[in-house]
């Protein structure tokens, strides 16, 4: 589809400098009607000012969409992901990644509602978000055109962006001290990239962290909380039933207070490069710990282990932008099946950056004190273990008899004295030869 064929575009619009410039650029370069979409997913900033900025830039009132998606975000995206205990590369709780499919979904919905030919986003050509937005959009509407200005224009520096804004009279907010970092925030996390963080050996300054207390300055007294789960989802805190978004918001408050959820990582981006980022995921860190605790007493051993084997693949699908893929849906169905009995309460102690599980209880618990006790019991015959062990060792017994050389290497004793080097060995031989021949 050529530029001339595009009559209307839906832009993911934050109201900031970049997307305001993109809005004007789309009007000039594509000579098209622009629809703006601003999502409130709990980023902690007012979203209504985006309406006034869009109006000033000539957007029709009926073409301005500002949606509160916080409940949908947590209920339909964050909670399903946490049922899987998803972590990318062992540390990242996927705070930015999981928000992108929701935004892509709403972009396509608005495009369908307004008869738009295309959607547009402000992600750069180096990052993961371009992949997530575009794969998400094309998954839901294969015919939609996606416009990525950062891959088309030559406004590749902040100076050029500011000059463009001044030339076209685009309002620029100038209040307070601007953070030097590239940041993304939603109800699950806040991220920091760029500037000194581009040196993976440079420690970020303390005032970079905007949400959490430092563990050193967190309260000196531990705080106990209880989280209740139903079918793998948190439904109550300290006995009070809460909505999904309120659950996460409340856990964020606890985590921020106690310095929980900071990480500093170097991750492998989908486009091929490594990137260093710092993240605060206070509520999510608490929720993950609690969810694994309730699963520990309600999931069968093999069910739990197989679920853990699936998790890295599931996490990569989310990180790389494949939320709407059939393979993610297939894995989600399997994961959700495991959650049918993940019900009960987990008691946690929060203290100076730590989340400590101190109790877990469920009507569906598989924990049997009668079987696990170290005291005398009447349900477990310890003699049964002998046959169990010999059956599991049977293949090794046969190998040891038929292929003794295979296990011999494990039994060979090494000389305890340091081995001589080749040079010292040759020198010793030469000395002995000279002595034998009578040569001084």
Claim to verify: residue 273 and residue 139 sit in the same structural domain: no
Q: Does residue 438 sit within a domain? A: no
Claim to verify: residue 139 and residue 261 sit in the same structural domain: no
| Closest alpha carbon to 85 in 195, 221, 232, 254 | 232
Let me know the angle formed at the C-alpha of 163 by 158 and 166, rounded to the nearest 5 degrees.
125
Q: Does residue 269 sit within a domain? A: yes
**Region at 111 (left for phi over 0; alpha for psi -120 to 50; beta for the rest):** alpha
Q: Does 182 participate in catalysis according to the annotation?
A: yes
Q: Does residue 314 sit within a domain? A: no
**Phi, psi (degrees; rounded to nearest 5) at 265:** -135, 160
Claim to verify: residue 236 and residue 286 sit in the same structural domain: yes
Q: Does residue 55 sit within a domain? A: yes
Q: Does residue 318 sit within a domain? A: no
Claim to verify: residue 151 and residue 217 sit in the same structural domain: no
Claim to verify: residue 130 and residue 15 sit in the same structural domain: yes
Task: Mark which of 167, 195, 220 sits at the end of a domain.
Answer: 167
Render pLDDT for 93-102 as a digit per residue (tens, 0 to 9). Answer: 999 999 999 9
Set 14, 51, 117, 129: catalytic member: 129
Claim to verify: residue 131 and residue 266 sit in the same structural domain: no
Total structural domains within the chain: 2
| Domain that includes residue 205, residue range | 182-299+342-367
Read off the CATH number of the domain in which 206 is found.
3.90.1260.10
Claim to verify: residue 117 and residue 10 sit in the same structural domain: yes
Q: Please provide the distance, in angstroms rounded to a whole number, between the alpha carbons at the two ends of the chain.
A: 93
Render pLDDT for 171-211 as a digit per residue (tens, 0 to 9). Answer: 776 554 566 788 999 999 999 999 999 999 999 999 999 99
Read off the CATH number of the domain in which 111 is found.
3.40.50.620
Q: Does residue 114 sit within a domain? A: yes
Q: Does residue 85 sit within a domain? A: no
Render pLDDT for 64-102 as a digit per residue (tens, 0 to 9). Answer: 999 999 999 999 999 999 999 999 999 999 999 999 999
Render pLDDT for 128-170 as a digit per residue (tens, 0 to 9). Answer: 999 999 999 999 999 999 999 999 999 887 788 889 999 988 8
Set 67, 76, 182, 325: catalytic member: 182
Q: Does residue 107 sit within a domain? A: yes
Render pLDDT for 334-385 as a digit per residue (tens, 0 to 9). Answer: 999 999 999 999 999 999 999 999 999 999 999 988 777 777 767 878 888 8
Claim to verify: residue 219 and residue 349 sit in the same structural domain: yes
C-alpha span between 311 and 94 (Å, rounded): 13
Claim to verify: residue 128 and residue 49 sit in the same structural domain: yes
pLDDT the model gives residue 416: 54
**Phi, psi (degrees; rounded to nearest 5) at 351:** -160, 115
Q: Does 406 participate in catalysis according to the annotation?
A: no
C-alpha span between 181 and 405 (Å, rounded): 60
Q: Does 184 participate in catalysis according to the annotation?
A: no
Residues 6+ apart with CB under 8 A from 311: 84, 85, 86, 87
* Structure confidence at residue 251 as a pLDDT band (50, 70, 90): very high
Set 18, 40, 117, 233: catalytic member: 18
Looking at per-residue pLDDT, the higher value among 234 and 162 belongs to 234
Task: Mark which of 333, 367, 401 sits at the end of a domain.
Answer: 367
Claim to verify: residue 206 and residue 352 sit in the same structural domain: yes
Set 51, 100, 106, 328: catalytic member: 100
Q: Does 336 participate in catalysis according to the annotation?
A: no
Render pLDDT for 402-425 as a digit per residue (tens, 0 to 9). Answer: 998 888 888 877 655 555 555 565
Claim to verify: residue 346 and residue 230 sit in the same structural domain: yes
| Closest alpha carbon to 117 in 221, 21, 31 | 31
C-alpha span between 23 and 35 (Å, rounded): 9
What is the distance, to the nearest Å, from the Cα of residue 291 to the centroid of all Cα atoms in its chain?
16
Task: Mark which of 116, 141, 167 sits at the end of a domain.
Answer: 167
Claim to verify: residue 103 and residue 152 sit in the same structural domain: yes
């Amino acid at each position: 589809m050529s530029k001339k064929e595009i009559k209307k575009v839906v832009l993911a619009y934050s109201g900031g400098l970049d997307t305001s410039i993109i809005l004007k650029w789309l009007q000039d370069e594509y000579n098209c009607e622009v629809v703006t979409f601003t999502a409130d997913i709990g980023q902690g900033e007012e979203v209504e000012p985006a309406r006034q900025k869009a109006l000033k830039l000539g957007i029709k009132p009926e073409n301005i969409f500002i949606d509160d998606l916080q409940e949908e975000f947590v209920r339909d995206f964050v909670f399903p992901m946490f049922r899987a205990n998803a972590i990318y590369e062992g540390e990242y709780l996927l705070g930015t990644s999981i928000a992108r499919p929701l935004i892509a979904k709403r972009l396509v919905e608005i495009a369908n509602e307004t008869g738009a030919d295309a959607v547009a986003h402000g992600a750069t050509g180096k990052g993961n978000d371009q992949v997530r937005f575009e794969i998400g959009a094309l998954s839901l509407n294969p015919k939609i055109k996606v416009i990525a200005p950062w891959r088309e224009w030559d406004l590749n520096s902040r100076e050029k962006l500011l000059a463009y804004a001044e030339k076209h009279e685009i309002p620029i907010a100038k209040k307070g001290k601007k953070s030097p970092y590239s940041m993304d925030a939603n109800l699950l996390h806040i991220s920091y990239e760029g500037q000194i963080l581009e040196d993976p050996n440079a420690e970020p300054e303390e005032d970079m962290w905007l949400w959490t207390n430092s563990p050193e300055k967190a309260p000196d007294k531990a705080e106990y909380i209880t989280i209740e789960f139903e079918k793998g989802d948190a439904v109550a805190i300290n006995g009070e039933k809460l909505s999904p978004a309120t659950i996460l918001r409340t856990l964020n408050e606890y985590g921020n207070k106690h310095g929980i959820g900071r990480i500093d990582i170097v991750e492998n981006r989908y486009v091929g490069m490594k990137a260093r980022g710092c993240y605060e995921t206070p509520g999510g860190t608490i929720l993950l710990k609690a969810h694994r605790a309730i699963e520990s007493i309600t999931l069968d051993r093999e069910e739990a282990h197989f679920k853990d084997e699936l998790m890295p693949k599931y996490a990569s699908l989310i990180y790389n932008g494949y939320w709407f893929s059939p393979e993610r849906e297939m894995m989600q169905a399997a994961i959700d099946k495991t959650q049918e009995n993940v019900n009960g309460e987990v008691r946690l102690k929060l203290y100076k950056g730590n989340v400590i599980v101190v109790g877990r209880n469920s009507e569906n618990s598989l924990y049997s004190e009668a079987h696990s006790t170290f005291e005398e019991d009447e349900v477990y015959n310890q003699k049964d273990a002998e046959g169990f062990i010999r059956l599991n060792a049977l293949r090794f017994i046969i190998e040891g008899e038929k292929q003794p050389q295979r296990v011999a290497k494990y039994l060979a004793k090494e000389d305890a004295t340091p081995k001589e080097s080749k040079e010292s060995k040759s020198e010793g031989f030469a000395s002995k030869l000279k002595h034998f021949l009578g040569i001084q």
